Amino acid sequence: MEGNGGGAGGAIVGLISLVIQLGILAVVIAGLWKLFAKAGQPGWAAIVPIYNTYVMTQIVGRPILWFILTFVPCINLVAMVLIMIDLAKSFGKSTGYAIGMILLPFIFIPMLGFSDAQYGGPSFKG
Q: Count structural domains, the chain.
A: 1
**pTM of the entire predicted model:** 0.83
In whole angstroms, what is the distance from residue 60 CA to residue 80 CA? 11
Structural domain contains residue 124: no
Q: Which domain holds residue 25?
A: 6-114
Q: C-alpha angle with apex 36: 103 to 102, nearest 5 degrees?
A: 10
pLDDT band of residue 11 (cuts 50, 70, 90) is confident
Phi-psi domain of 61 (left: phi exceeds 0; alpha: psi -120 through 50; beta: other):
left
Between 1 and 26, name the one with better pLDDT.
Answer: 26
Give the other-Cβ count within 10 Å of 33's Cβ: 20
Structural domain contains residue 73: yes
At 97 the three-state DSSP class reads helix
Per the CB < 8 A criterion, the answer to whether 96 and 125 are in contact is no
Structural domain contains residue 104: yes
pLDDT score of 126: 46
